[in-house]
Amino acid sequence: MLTGSLVALVTPMDVNGEIDFPTLRKLVDWHIEQGTNGIVAVGTTGESPTVDVEEHIAIVRAVVEQAAGRVPVIAGTGANSTREAIHLSNRALEVGANYGLSVVPYYNKPTQNGLYQHFKSIAENTALPTLLYNVPGRTACDLSNDTALELAKLPNIVGIKDATGNLERAADLAKRAPSDFALYSGDDASTLPFILIGGHGTISVTANVAPQAMSQMCAAAAAGQISTARAINDKLQDLHRHLFIEANPIPVKWALEAMGKIPAGIRLPLTRLSEPAQAIVRKALQAADLINP
C-alpha cells in the first residue's frame, strides 16, 4: 500500500498561462529528493479545471516520465461525467500512471446510489486502480462513509482521499474499512490526527512547499513518534491554514513563486494572490523556515 506524504502537485505555468514543462520536471525531481512518497498530477491543486484533456494527459505523461519509477504517480481522473472520468482513467493508464484519483462528481449532485454507480462504472471500465476523492466543500456533494465502504468491496477501488477534515468520519472509516483499503487525508490541518487514528497518509497541498517536513511528519506519526510528529507539524500549522486563504491553488502557487520554484503563471478564472494575502503567506513560509525573514 502506498503510504506517507503524497503531494498534490501544482502545474507550473508561465506568465501567459502556458504550461511550463521544464519547471514541472524540476519539481518532480525536487520532490523525490526531498522524500515525497508519491506525486498526484493534475488534481485540483494542479488546476485540472483549467486545462483541456490533451494538456491534462501531457502533464501526467511528463510527471510519469520524470518520476521514472522512483515514486508512484497518481493521475487526477475525476469528472462530473462518468464517460469522461472513464476516458481520463484509460488515457492516464496509457501514459503510465499507477493510480487514478477520481473526485466525487461536482455540480450535478447525484444521489448516493448515483455516486455508487458512477464509481462502479469507472472501476469496471478501466484497469487503472482508483482512489475515491471526497471534497464536499468543492463538489456540493458528499460521498457517505457507507457508500465509500460499499465501493471498497470492488477490486479496482483501492482507497479514498477524505478532504472533509472530519475526524469522526475518518475514525469510522479506519474502523470499518478493509485492511488493504488506503485512507488518505485531504486536509493538511488534520493530517496528523488522521494518521494517528488509522490513516495511511496524506494527499497534501502543504507538501508542495514543505515536502521534506511533510514526509518526515507522516513517517513519525505512522511510527507512533508523536512528540516528533507534533514538533514538525507545529511549524507547518500556519501553512496548513494560510495556503487556503484564497482558493487553492492560488496561495500555494504564489508561495512556490516566492521560494523561486515556479514562475508567476495561473489561469483564469484563478488569479494571482492578492497583496494583503501575500504578506500572510510570506509569514507562514518564514515560520516554517522556507524563506528568509
**Cβ(66)–Cβ(36) below 8 Å:** no
Q: Three-class SS of residue 63?
A: helix
Cis peptide upstream of residue 269 (ω within 30 degrees of 0): yes
Query: 3-class DSSP state for residue 250?
Result: helix
CA proximity to 77, closest of 92, 58, 64 = 92
State the Cα–Cα distance between residues 75 and 60, nearest whole angstrom: 6
Q: Which residues are catalytic?
A: 133, 161
Tell me the CB-side half-sphere exposure of residue 159, using CA atoms within 13 A: 23
Grid cell at residue 107: 455540480
- Which amino acid would we find at residue 293? P
Q: Render 150-198 in DSSP notation, one character per residue.
A: HHTTSTTEEEEEE-S--HHHHHHHHHHS-TTSEEEES-GGGHHHHHHTT
- For residue 231, the one-letter residue type is A
Q: What's phi and psi for 242, nearest 5 deg?
A: -85, -15
For residue 146, the number of C-alpha atoms closer than 13 Å in the C-beta half-sphere is 3
DSSP letter, residue 33: H
Count the neighbouring beta carbons within 10 Å of the beta carbon of residue 253: 27
Q: What radius of gyration do the chain's Cα atoms show?
A: 18
